[in-house]
Chains A and B, each alone.
Chain A
Amino acid sequence: MNGIPLAHALLLSGGMFTLGLLGVLVRRNLLFTLLSLEIMLNSAGLAFVVAGARWSQPDGQIMFLLVLSLAAAEVAVGLALTLQVHRQFGSLDLDALSELREGPE
């Protein structure tokens, strides 16, 4: 780890994950929700790389590679769904998609 404390690196990763979670919870735009999911996946991958660097093992980078391919597949499907939602509902507001909810009677 060459002088960088493990706790600081993990704090950075945790902070980025928290920001991503905040984005998912606060934003109501479908595009921003997907962006925040990317941030969370990225911070999880960073934690893997940090752990791999701490013990000088290549396994951390390999897990990062797998997280990366997962993120690529997820974003492809998610953006295709986003396009469909825009076509069907005319907006990207997540609250416009609450068709399953019972209406106020």
Chain B
Amino acid sequence: MTTLFYTAGAVALIATALAISRKNAVHALLYLIVSFMAVAGVMLALGAAFAAALEVMVYAGAIMVLFVFVVMLLNIGPQADSREAQWIRPQVWLGPGLLAAVLLIELLLTLRHGAANLAEVAPVSLKSVGLTLYGPYLLAVELASMLLLAGLIAAYHLGRPRE
């Protein structure tokens, strides 16, 4: 698990640094998705499997897809097609692809050599997370749902086209 932690941590830092220094938003998004997956690997190494799954699903999945949608909405036009062809050149996806491959190999090695290790390491079970979430933290769950509702209404209101 220690190797997974250090490899994923290094990949996370490198991918984040590359993400904030890209000129193009789509390139930055590619690196940021790799960065979030690496952070999920770090969380897995720390024994927080539930948080790692949420990181991949919500951050790398939902939030990054929102960003991609907005980038696409901002680039509607005839010149967008040729620009898009330029964006997907091999040298653009080679960097994120390599970093993601490092993560995948490290994860596979960990699963192969340390499957027993992984099971013994998970100190916080999903059951205890669920019991605590809907026990002492029930009010926080209600507050989070109100926050999400407020965010939904605000996004709907702000996103409407003006007449």
Interface residues of A (CB under 8 A from B): 1-4, 8-9, 12, 15-16, 19-20, 22-23, 26-27, 29, 31-32, 34-36, 38-39, 42, 45-46, 49-50, 52-53, 56-62, 64-66, 68-77, 79-84, 86-87, 92
Closest Cβ–Cβ distance, residue A60 to chain B (whole Å): 7
What B residues does A79 contact at CB under 8 A? 66-67, 70, 155
- Interface bracket on B: 35 or more
Residue of B nearest to A17 (CB): B16
Q: Which one of B47, B147, B154 contacts A2 once the chains associate, using CB atoms below 8 Å?
A: B47
Closest Cβ–Cβ distance, residue A96 to chain B (whole Å): 14
Q: Which one of A3, A42, A71, A87 contacts B2 once the chains associate, using CB atoms below 8 Å?
A: A3
What A residues does B16 contact at CB under 8 A? 16, 19-20, 39
Beta-carbon contact of B32 and A39 below 8 Å? yes
Closest Cβ–Cβ distance, residue A97 to chain B (whole Å): 15
Closest Cβ–Cβ distance, residue A91 to chain B (whole Å): 10
The answer for the CA separation of A84 and B132 in the assembled complex, in Å, is 40
Beta-carbon contact of B148 and A72 below 8 Å? yes
Q: Which one of B19, B45, B144, B151 contacts A76 once the chains associate, using CB atoms below 8 Å?
A: B151
Q: Which one of A16, A27, A50, A81 contacts B46 once the chains associate, using CB atoms below 8 Å?
A: A50
